[in-house]
């Protein structure tokens, strides 16, 4: 999984039936200490929320078939999902 911050959301009326009623969140990847974007120039990525994450929260994001399998069918279009809200990151 990767660590990201939720920074917005997307509205899409015309979309795959598997995305109906789901929250599409704009996320920004962050460094291990939770600080700002790890890379300046990266394409925007949109993750489907599965844990009630809010804007500004630090979250765990899963990619690929892992993201899809989090949701019951229909779930076909999902390749990125928020799977946890991070309380703390401990570095040693």
Count of residues binding a copy of itself (CB under 8 A)?
Answer: 63
What's the closest the beta carbon of residue 21 comes to a copy of itself, in angstroms?
13
- Residues comprising the chain, all counted: 92
Indicate the residue among 21 and 32 with the shorter CB distance to a copy of itself.
Answer: 32
Give me the 8-47 binding string for a copy of itself, x by CB under 8 A, dash otherwise: xxxxxxxxx-xx----x-x-xxxxx-----xx-xxxxxxx
87 Cβ partners below 8 Å, 6+ apart? none
Where do we find the tokens 């009623």? Answer: 21
Cβ neighbourhood burial of 38 (10 Å; 0-12, 13-18, 19+) = middle
For residue 46, give the DSSP letter.
Answer: E
Q: Which residues form the interface with a copy of itself (CB under 8 A)?
A: 1-4, 7-16, 18-19, 24, 26, 28-32, 38-39, 41-47, 50-52, 55-56, 60, 62-70, 76-81, 83-92
């Amino acid at each position: 999984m990767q660590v990201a911050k939720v920074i917005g959301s997307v509205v899409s009326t015309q979309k795959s039936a598997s995305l109906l009623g789901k929250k599409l969140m704009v996320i920004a990847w962050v460094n291990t200490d939770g600080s700002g974007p790890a890379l300046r120039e990266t394409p925007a990525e949109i993750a489907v929320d599965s844990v009630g994450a809010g804007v500004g929260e630090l979250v765990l994001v899963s990619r690929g078939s892992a993201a899809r399998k989090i949701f019951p069918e229909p779930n076909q279009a999902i390749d990125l999902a928020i799977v946890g809200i991070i309380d703390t990151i401990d570095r040693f």
